[in-house]
Structure formats: structure tokens, C-alpha cells
Amino acid sequence: MRTKVVALTLALAFLLVVTTRCDDGSPPPPPGPDNYCAYLPTALDNWWEFKVTVESMFSPREEYKLTLEIKDIKDNYEGFPTAYVITVTKEGSSPEEIIVAPDGDDCYVERVAWAYLIGDAMDVGEWSQTGLVGDFPLEYVGDVEVKVPAQTDRFKCREYFLDNGNEFKPESWRELYAKDVGLVYYENNFKQYQIDPFELVDWRVVKYELKGYDVKKHQAPTF
């Protein structure tokens, strides 16, 4: 779950269906469900590069590049009609994979250590996710603008917030998604406390800022 950003969210979470006109001049198809899967432009060879900053009480500040790329499409995967394989590569490390499969209002997200079925439309308020690690609602906070290295202008984003609700090992996620781009900014905060008295014993903050991306024409998922 702590690596969800990459989905998810983790998260990597990424964006609305592209509404540009087709090459033949015909009207674009209607947008798909406004859910988690709809926030990721699903087309082969789409990629995103992030500048990642890690700050911790016990470790030196760390910066590295993280790259996400849609590498493959699977049919009839785990009962879902279509699944997209996203390769996640931390600079200097072996790649990992995330599977994202849309199905109506639901979105199946699978990583090495966990899997989630995320449901309900991403609207103001909370939407649900259920998985192997825990059940934490992700709340749509509102719309914000953010400046990241990917472009000179500010991205207009939808902001989402997740809190694990753990009193003794609190952890929260803040995720910003831009239309036709995907995940633009992610921040993970982990704090661990002792009990009686409450005393901060360590902390860790991870931030992702979009440096560059190449989003091709959106390939509408099969429902």
C-alpha cells in the first residue's frame, strides 16, 4: 500500500478520457466512467517520468527518477475484459509491474504484494477501495493548480486525499491528477508514534513531481 502512488495509486490513480476529434472528423466517442481507471491514458507506449524526493529522519535526503510506461495489454485478465501492464522503474533498480483493468465503474489494480478493486465514481466526497492491505476511502478534496517540472504553466488538477486511519502508525497520501496527463503530483507522509506519551520517533515524506510525459491518443477500455 505504501507504494500505491505508482498506482496508484499508485497509484499510483489517472485522467479523464481524451475528448479530441477522431482523425476522420467524426465526433469523439462519449467519455467512459469517471472512475480511477479513467484517469490513466490507456494506450501502449504512453510514459511518465517523475522526480522523486525522499526525506527521512534517519536517512539522507534522496532524489531519483521514476518512470512509468504502458508496455502491454492483456485480454480476459482475472475476469476483466482488458488489462494494461504498466512498467514502473526506479532509477538504478529493477522494474516492477502494475496491472490496471477497467470494468464499468470498477477498476482492478494489481501489484506484486497487493491488489485492489476500486469502485464508485470519483466525485466530490469519498470513494471506496477494498484490497489485501486494508479498506481506506480516498476523498476527492477539490480542484487545485500545481507547478511541477513537466511544464512552465501550472497544471489544473483534481486533488485526492487518503488517510489510513491508524492512530499509532498514521500514513496519508495526497494525489493530484490532470486531465489528459494523469498523475502530476504525489506525496506520501508516514509518521510513527510511541504510546503514552505520544512522541514522534520517525518520519518519512516521499514526493513525486512530473518531469515529462508522452500521452498518445487515448485507447478507450473495453467494458
What is the residue-wise DSSP string for 109-169?
A: EE-SS-EEEEES---SEEEEEEESS---PEEEEEEEEE--TT-SSPEEEEEEEEE---SSS
Least-confidence region, from 32-41, 77-86, 138-147: 32-41
What is the model's pTM? 0.74
pLDDT in the model for residue 87? 95
- Under 8 Å between Cβ of 175 and 13: yes
Under the banding of pLDDT at 50, 70 and 90, the label for residue 122 is: low
Least-confidence region, from 84-98, 146-160, 192-206: 192-206
Least-confidence region, from 56-70, 152-166, 190-204: 190-204
* 130, containing H or E segment: strand 125-131
* Residue 70, pLDDT above cutoff 80: yes
- Domains belonging to the chain, first-starting first, are 37-214 (2.40.360)
* Residue 10, pLDDT above cutoff 90: no
Under the banding of pLDDT at 50, 70 and 90, the label for residue 89 is: very high
Cross-strand bridge partners of residue 203:
191
Compute, in degrees rounded to 10, the torsion defined by CA atoms 90, 8, 214, 76.
110
* Residue 83, pLDDT above cutoff 80: yes
The amino acid sitting at 177 is Y
Q: b/e for 97-128, b at 16 or more Cβ within 10 A? A: ebbbbbbebbbbbbbeebebbbbbebeeeebe
- Please tell me the number of Cα atoms within 13 Å of 30 on its side-chain side: 2
Residues 6+ apart with CB under 8 A from 180: 15, 16, 18, 41, 215, 218
Residues 6+ apart with CB under 8 A from 190: 2, 169, 170, 171, 203, 204, 205
Q: Which of 172, 186, 208 is nearest to 53 (CA)?
A: 208
How far is residue 33 CA from its own chain's centroid?
A: 17
* Residue 4, pLDDT above cutoff 50: no
pLDDT in the model for residue 168? 75
pLDDT in the model for residue 53? 95
How far is residue 39 CA from its own chain's centroid?
A: 8
